[in-house]
Chains A and B, each alone.
Chain A
Amino acid sequence: MDDDEPREDPPAPPDEQPSLWHRLRHRRRDRLAAALIGVLTLLLGFAFAVQVRSNDTDTTYSGAREEDLVRILDDVNAREDRLREQIAEQRTALGQLSDTDSQAAAALAEAQQRATELGILNGSIAAQGPGLRMTIEDPGDQITPANLLNAVQELRGAGAETMQVDDVRIGVSSAVTGSAGALQIDGQDIDAPYVVVVIGDPQVLATAMDIPGGVSATVRQRGGDVSIVQSEQVVVDALRPLDQPQYAEPTD
């Protein structure tokens, strides 16, 4: 700290002839001093540059007072809390949404399955499956609506899930009308031989037709004939228009 004060021993007076040893010593000292000065100034320059650089990077808070820093920290903490709350809320909302979403999907799948079942039941969609194809010959026009209705009832009783007669789908409200030889189902004319395609257990259905006093026996008694072909795959593709209920309304 006192380099600016005059030093006590000035450099060797030039008027005296110094000894060789003295000169060598002096030289070595000079060199050492120069090296030290170089190292020190290099360090200074290095430290200076580093300090300037590091000061450049973060000057935002380095000059702030402690109270300000504490306030800023509080602000940041409060903000973090708020954001955390928001995250929790959003998570909950997301959970609820995906919950209702999966519920809605399940309800939709169930509704679709119900619609399919009901469609098969009331004949508004085509169906396929194991069943049988029954052909009722009626050469003498002796089959009455009651006989055909009986056949339909027997088939239903034997577990028929859906059926069609001569390309007319039988639904829950189907009616057999007309007279022997000019039968109608739901107002549509059907002609002998009547081809009944039924989906259900083939074995059970065939047995139900062939019981004594049953459909086959009655038809044969009236001069007709019944041939039954059991099949693992029959297609009931006649469709029935969907009835719009005019008076009935669903109750809640």
Chain B
Amino acid sequence: MIPILGLAVGVVLGLLLDPSVPVWLQPYLPIAVVAALDAVFGGIRARFDGIFDAKVFVVSFVSNVVVAALIVFLGDQLGVGAQLSTAVVVVLGIRIFGNAAAIRRHLFRA
């Protein structure tokens, strides 16, 4: 309940305040969002599996975001930022797909 509420409030706040993204954050924000989405899907799956733990969720959420941003930052420093962010998005996308599949199996038994 709390995560759904938090998501909804955050979305509403973001739409209402409509802040402009600082330039230095622009390359990292989408990656961070995707990473956080991955963590959220993982958390949902763990919930269905009955192994959800708040500490693990929080740590994985934060570390996901930080690592993803770090990879993109490193890529930017090395001159391959665009490619590395693509790679991160692909990897996270695959994970999200996998988690979504597990959730689907739990929900529809199929």
Contact = CB atoms under 8 A, between A and B. Distances in A.
A11 B50 CA distance: 11
A3 B57 contact: yes
B11 interface: yes
Nearest to A11: B53
Contact of A34 (B18, B38, B54): B54
Contacts of B49: 4, 6
A44 B7 contact: yes
B56 A44 contact: no
A30 B14 CA distance: 28
Interface string B37-67: 1111011011001011111111011111001
A48 B19 CA distance: 12
A33 B54 CA distance: 6
Nearest to B21: A54
A44 B33 contact: yes
Interface in A102-138: none
Contacts of B57: 3, 33, 37
A44 B29 contact: no
A69 interface: no
A56 B33 CA distance: 16
B54 A48 contact: no
A186 B33 CA distance: 108
A29 B53 CA distance: 11
The secondary structure that dominates the A interface is: helix
Contacts of B29: 47, 50-51
A42 B9 CA distance: 6
A37 B14 contact: no
Given A45-B7, A45-B8, A37 B2 contact: yes
B72 interface: no
A7 interface: yes
Given A30-B54, A33-B54, A50-B29, A1 B11 contact: no
Contact of A1 (B2, B52, B60): B60
A95 interface: no
B15 A4 contact: no
B54 A45 contact: no
Contacts of A50: 14, 18-19, 21, 29
- Top 3 nearest A-B pairs (CB, nearest first) are A45-B10, A49-B14, A33-B54
13 contacts: A1-B42, A3-B45, A11-B53, A34-B2, A40-B36, A41-B6, A44-B10, A45-B8, A45-B13, A48-B11, A49-B11, A49-B13, A53-B18
